[in-house]
Amino acid sequence: MTLAELKQNIESNSVGESLVIFKIDKDDFIPRQYITEMALSLGRDLEYLSEIDSLCVTSFSIFGEEFDTPTTLRVFFTDELEVASNALADQKYLVIITKKLGGEASELYKKHIVEVPKLVEWQIKDYVYSVAEGVANKDLDWLISLYGKDMYRLTNELNKLSIFSPIERQYLFNDLKTDGAYTDVSTYNIFNITNALSKKDMGALMAVYGEIDRVDVSEFGLLALLLRNFKNLMMVQLQLSPTAESSLMDAKQFYAVKNLPKVYTQSQLVDIFTFLCDIDRKVKTGELPTEVMIDYMIIKILSM
């Protein structure tokens, strides 16, 4: 199967259940994007496997039927896939990402292999232009020149723009560039903070907080993202049977929010959102100095 054929299957919502093996050069950015889309097309959660040896032995029930049919789209990463197993070739809902296949494995799995080409400049530009509509191409070219070899960092920066409408993105980009946000001052960024708070992940939060003075985060930017995150959590977790439509989100966003751990009670979510809504008033009336705004929001949320 070619990458183009797989893309067509995803777009036509006809992704099959059989094994898929992505053979990459060194960057797994492209297959990760495809795997996310495959999971959405199949309506399955992602499950990351630590080993596949157990999948190389087919098990049958006393009635001669295979059991343990997976309920997730399983993903396994390995530098080299050497095992050649018919049982593995017959696996359903399994994706393997590898840099190299052994001779026997390459022959056995040849109909399942998707060769992933190395990203070239025009592909990166095509991707960036499509997800950052509204920002001038010359500005996006400059961003690509900074992070083009690090697609995850580049995507992180684009995510900051994606939550705003196309007409607002140029203004946001200009502000971030003027404020020096597009630098390698830290390996962490504002999304590490908001994600850690959404999951109440103290380990991740403490790691970011240790470099907070070097993280590209603004007080009101953090407030805007926290309001968005906790509003989304409420939209999903306060409904009995939430859907993307009833939660006012697209499928990707809903899928991500729905699968976050439920670490806050419903009343805590409401209290946190109410608290965040009141922050802007407190800053404008002088009740809360902007220099303590970030510390105050983080400590208050964790104490609720």
State the pTM of this model. Answer: 0.51
Tokens 């990707």 correspond to what residue? Answer: 252
User: Which residue, 184, 206, 233, sits at the end of a domain?
Assistant: 184
* Whether residue 105 sits in one domain with residue 174: no
pLDDT at 145 over 70: yes
Average model confidence (pLDDT) across the chain: 84
User: Which residue, 130, 164, 184, sits at the end of a domain?
Assistant: 184
| Residue 179, domain extent | 119-184
pLDDT at 62: 46
* Whether residue 144 sits in one domain with residue 55: no
User: Which residue, 132, 162, 184, sits at the end of a domain?
Assistant: 184
Total domain count, the chain: 3
Q: Which residue has the higher pLDDT, 189 or 55?
A: 55
pLDDT at 214: 59
For 220-278, write each residue's pLDDT tens digit. Answer: 888 888 998 899 999 999 998 989 889 888 887 888 888 888 899 999 999 999 999 99
CATH number, domain with residue 20:
3.40.50
CATH number, domain with residue 195:
1.20.272.10
pLDDT at 107: 92
Q: Which residue has the higher pLDDT, 54 or 182?
A: 54
pLDDT at 185 over 70: no
- Which residues, at least 6 apart from 215, have a Cβ–Cβ distance to it below 8 Å? 185, 186, 188, 189, 190, 192, 193, 208
* Whether residue 83 sits in one domain with residue 153: no
Q: Which residue has the higher pLDDT, 152 or 259?
A: 259
Average pLDDT over residues 179-206: 76
Query: Cα torsion at 35, 27, 155, 37 (round to 10°)?
Result: -10
For 80-118, write each residue's pLDDT tens digit. Answer: 998 899 989 999 999 999 999 988 999 999 999 999 888
Q: For 33-36, which contacts have Cβ atoms below 8 Å and span 24 or more sequence positions?
A: 34/3, 34/6, 34/7, 34/10, 35/73, 35/75, 35/95, 36/252
Query: Which residues are paired to 97 by β-bridges?
Result: 22, 77
* Whether residue 134 sits in one domain with residue 72: no
